[in-house]
Structure 1
Amino acid sequence: MAVMNVSVPLRGLKTELPARRAPRRGLRGFPLAVLRTGILGYLGALAATWFLADRQLALPDAWTGGAVALVGTWLAYSFAAMPAYERARSYKPAIRFIELLGAAALALMMAEADSSSTIRQAAIAVLAAPAVSAASAFAHRRLLRRTPTILVGQVESVERLANRWVGRKDINVLATCSWRAPHELAPAGAVSDDSLAQVVREVLAAVSEHGARSVVIASGRAFATPALRHLAWALQRAEVECLVVADMNDHVEYLRPRRVGDQIALSLRAPNDHLMSLLAKSILDRVTAAFALVVLSPLLLVLAGGVRFGSRGPAIFRQVRTGRDGEPFVIYKFRTMVVDAETRLDALRDRNEGAGPLFKLRHDPRITRFGRFLRKTSLDELPQLINVVKGDMSLVGPRPALPSETSLYSEWVWRRLHVKPGMTGLWQVSGRSALSWEESIRMDLQYVNNWNLRLDIAIIARTFRAVLARDGAH
């Protein structure tokens, strides 16, 4: 029997289920399985063409039959030309058909063909198909976006990803197939073809049992390990999506594949790392902040009066924070503590409840009664609109850190200072004080490496919801 040397030992492979109950397969799960194929969207597109052509527009039978035949041929080709895991969610069929119709219309115009009402009505009937197809893909992406997934790889990587993906709305980990790391076993040796086939059978059995549509391989040696290459080929034949995670120490970079010579490489260039995007963000920040200051000026005056009435001292608290690229700036906030709060900090350090270098104390005695209300409602942050207008801060970005915190940053954490700090950010709308230091840093780095204006708008919208729910604020 042939023997194959592999760089990652595959002995000790095991299949595990999360604590939740696995979905039952059988007649009860049959409707959902059919729905996930996307076949209803294809049939709906064909039915829409026939209904418009025959019932609504009353086209001649020959024209109706031609339109239905054209759409049916396009749908059959699109269904067969895509892997099963893409059929339900892809916009490609609609886009490609519209491109084809556009080319046909251009050809008719160049040929000066007769644009009779029958031709126009037939075109309307045919265009119903890509519209229904796109609507079906959109519905699948929104309603069935939790892709049933099997995780495969070394125990450490699989457990880390499974824990990070708990509760996500776009992925549903049904089972894990993992093996022990090399240091837990004897030195890597030869693995027979039988062992290799066993690995493939274990994963394929889990895919079949749980109805998975995707397999994620969490292994840095995936492309160099023959067993995992064979697994990818087997999944391809089974029309199950196979993905390899580019695990970069848990910190999400913007990755874009490109070909270099005859190899596949991953580009790490951020998507908006150019002057126009930075200019657009700066203009949007300053205009929005200036408008908000004008509109909210009566509220700001009332809050300032509440701070002065609640305790002696100025209404505005000024503090040096670290800005973009480590440049210091003075941040403005409504004062929520007594005026000698800084001098009383050392006496409270042994009661610190914050993570990492952050100091947090849920029942901090330095906070005034009105200041506690401001913190609970996040209204103490409103004077930072002045910082945004001045250009020190952005509406959305990492939390503005103290110099004492940034002095403790490692090299990879310093990356969060490559953009302006923000009044709100990804970690602020994802748990705020309830998050661990590592998780908040990971979210800040995820924002820095992947920011765009659409993400900023989504974070601002989530900020209002988090403030109303008082999520993680104290």
Structure 2
Amino acid sequence: MAVMNVSTPLMGLETDVAARAVRGTRLSRAPRAVLRQGVIGYAAALAVTWYLAHRHFALPLSWQAGVVGLVAIWLLYSFAALRAFERARSFKPAIRFVEILGLASFGFVLGDAPNTELVRQAAVAVAAAPVVLSLSAVLHRQLLRRTPTILVGQVESVRRLESRWAKRKDVNVVATCSWRSPHELAPVGAVSDDGLAEVVREVLAAVVQRQATSVVIASGRALSTPALRHLAWALQRAEVECLVVADMSDHVEFLRPRRVGDQIALSLRAPNDHLMSLALKSVLDRVTAAVLLLVLSPLLLLIAVLIRLGSRGPAIFKQERSGQDGRPFTIWKFRTMVVDAEKRLPSLRKRNEGAGPLFKLTNDPRVTRFGRVLRSTSIDELPQLVNVLRGEMSLVGPRPALPSETSQYSEWVWRRLHVKPGLTGLWQVSGRSSLSWEESIRMDLQYVNNWNLRLDLAILARTVRAVLARDGAL
């Protein structure tokens, strides 16, 4: 990690610093640039169309020219319309092409066009282009799923991002370049010519050496500081994507760029304020819970009997939890501990392995033998379907917290109570008990601030895999 002190007045950036790095970068990065920008996929789409029209179907010359010309014009337009870093993995050209083909086919039907073999063959040749583009997008998403990235910025911000992205599958931090300063890069008049040139040299040298395709600037003043704007211009000349992180100190908000007047602003509007989506989520929760309770009733009855036979006490454990907006409700679970578990808790506090207000103990002596089986398979959570049916919980949402926990919440952590707690959630499918308190809270806030129905379906699918793998279960 390169660490620089930033202090003296900024006068400008020697352009040859970037120019010398760019000359070497373009030559070494040309093959990867072809791959990243999807040139191969676009060329393959045109080649397949030409092959079908000319060789396979042997269409008349005028039809060949029309088919290949139509596809070529569309591919050129799509290539020019999309940003360089989106071309390879985007499904937009294929989707738009299919829409146009659908309208054209509808027009043929309305016009009572003859359904000749010639028309059918031409349609197949044209339709091959979006199919090839779609396959190319899928392939590129696999090949480019981990982006070699360089982090640039104030040392604390860089370290925080590097730690957070360490286990991600879509970002690969290959180098960092940071500085120490009480005020990051202060306004104009705070960075020397030599210091700024050194920043550019460090980053561009790392880009060439590490074959990075993305540079992320983690600085709160990135959009207003000349130093980092010069760096962004140098990266643009080197054909490297430059991104600025909206660092909100772990507050994972739903951000959407908007133009306000002649300025770019970030909208923090929550995505879960759509009444229809919320109503549909509520209906799906209750219908699914009712069906599952009906289908699983023999299994639930059997488990209840086994719990009663295994240890003294009721089969169902009921406990007060904090629901949406902090409203208390009684949660239902299969009992996995001895009856006097709550009374034994104070004597175990000193052995607590959890962070924050959470109590966690890997080998908790209060858990019964059959209870360990229920916990490891997450079957003990199934009675919560009753809470979902009653509208107190949702299938997907933050973990239902104890009142003793929520009483210790800070104002920003209280945000996780703005939605119903869930039977499963983002934190459960991302490590469950192996996550720290801070990580689980961040996962819950990420869900609350970015909720949509598609995310719920993805979490439910990942829940099945997590349960089967017993990921993070105690």
| TM tier, smaller | 0.7 to 0.9
Aligned partner of 1:414 in structure 2 is 414
Partner SS for 2:467: helix
Determine if contact 2:185/2:191 at 8 Å carries over to the other structure.
no
Summarize the Cα distance change of 1:280–1:311 in structure 2 as closer, same or farther, 3 Å threshold. same
Alignment of 1:161-176 (within 5 A): 161-176=161-176
Aligned partner of 2:309 in structure 1 is 309
Using the alignment, how far apart are the partners of 1:465 and 1:76 within structure 2?
42
Partner SS for 1:400: coil
Summarize the Cα distance change of 1:26–1:86 in structure 2 as closer, same or farther, 3 Å threshold. closer
Using the alignment, how far apart are the partners of 1:284 and 1:81 within structure 2?
39
Aligned partner of 1:438 in structure 2 is 438
Q: How high is the TM-score relative to the length of structure 1?
A: 0.88
Deviation at 1:86, TM superposition (A): 2.4
Deviation at 1:425, TM superposition (A): 0.8
Determine if contact 1:5/1:191 at 8 Å carries over to the other structure.
yes
Alignment of 1:204-243 (within 5 A): 204-243=204-243
For this pair of structures, how many residues does the alignment match?
455
Determine if contact 1:84/1:239 at 8 Å carries over to the other structure.
no
Which ranges in structure 1 are unaligned for 5 or more consecutive residues? 8-24
Using the alignment, how far apart are the partners of 1:251 and 1:47 within structure 2?
48
Partner SS for 2:265: strand
Using the alignment, how far apart are the partners of 1:363 and 1:237 within structure 2?
57
Partner SS for 2:343: coil
Deviation at 1:283, TM superposition (A): 0.6
Using the alignment, how far apart are the partners of 1:268 and 1:228 within structure 2?
25
Deviation at 1:132, TM superposition (A): 1.2
Alignment of 1:369-448 (within 5 A): 369-448=369-448
Q: Is residue 451 of structure 1 aligned with residue 455 of structure 2?
A: no
Aligned partner of 2:344 in structure 1 is 344
Aligned partner of 1:468 in structure 2 is 468
Q: Could you report, residue by residue, the CA deviation over 1:98-119 in whole angstroms, capped at 9, with x for unpaired residues?
A: 5666777788899998886545
Partner SS for 2:153: strand
Deviation at 1:426, TM superposition (A): 0.7
Q: Percent identity?
A: 74
Using the alignment, how far apart are the partners of 1:307 and 1:231 within structure 2?
65
Determine if contact 2:336/2:368 at 8 Å carries over to the other structure.
yes
Using the alignment, how far apart are the partners of 1:50 and 1:42 within structure 2?
13
Aligned partner of 2:155 in structure 1 is 155
Using the alignment, how far apart are the partners of 1:179 and 1:421 within structure 2?
41
Using the alignment, how far apart are the partners of 2:336 and 2:108 within structure 1?
71
Comparing 39-48 with 300-309, greater Cα deviation is found at 39-48
Summarize the Cα distance change of 1:120–1:470 in structure 2 as closer, same or farther, 3 Å threshold. closer
Summarize the Cα distance change of 1:99–1:196 in structure 2 as closer, same or farther, 3 Å threshold. farther
Partner SS for 2:354: coil
- Aligned-partner residue type, residue 155 of structure 1: V
Using the alignment, how far apart are the partners of 1:349 and 1:322 within structure 2?
22
Using the alignment, how far apart are the partners of 1:27 and 1:238 within structure 2?
10
Q: Could you report, residue by residue, the CA deviation over 1:190-209 in whole angstroms, capped at 9, with x for unpaired residues?
A: 43445434323332222222
Summarize the Cα distance change of 1:57–1:365 in structure 2 as closer, same or farther, 3 Å threshold. same
- Aligned-partner residue type, residue 301 of structure 1: L
Using the alignment, how far apart are the partners of 1:29 and 1:215 within structure 2?
15
Deviation at 1:95, TM superposition (A): 4.3
Comparing 37-46 with 78-87, greater Cα deviation is found at 78-87
Q: How high is the TM-score relative to the length of structure 2?
A: 0.88
Determine if contact 1:318/1:332 at 8 Å carries over to the other structure.
yes
- Aligned-partner residue type, residue 360 of structure 2: K
Determine if contact 2:187/2:225 at 8 Å carries over to the other structure.
no
Summarize the Cα distance change of 1:301–1:97 in structure 2 as closer, same or farther, 3 Å threshold. closer
Summarize the Cα distance change of 1:5–1:126 in structure 2 as closer, same or farther, 3 Å threshold. farther
Aligned partner of 1:63 in structure 2 is 63
Summarize the Cα distance change of 1:284–1:80 in structure 2 as closer, same or farther, 3 Å threshold. closer
Comparing 151-160 with 133-142, greater Cα deviation is found at 133-142
- Aligned-partner residue type, residue 443 of structure 2: M
Summarize the Cα distance change of 1:451–1:81 in structure 2 as closer, same or farther, 3 Å threshold. closer
Aligned partner of 2:17 in structure 1 is none
Summarize the Cα distance change of 1:123–1:270 in structure 2 as closer, same or farther, 3 Å threshold. same
Summarize the Cα distance change of 1:155–1:105 in structure 2 as closer, same or farther, 3 Å threshold. same
Using the alignment, how far apart are the partners of 2:336 and 2:239 within structure 1?
59
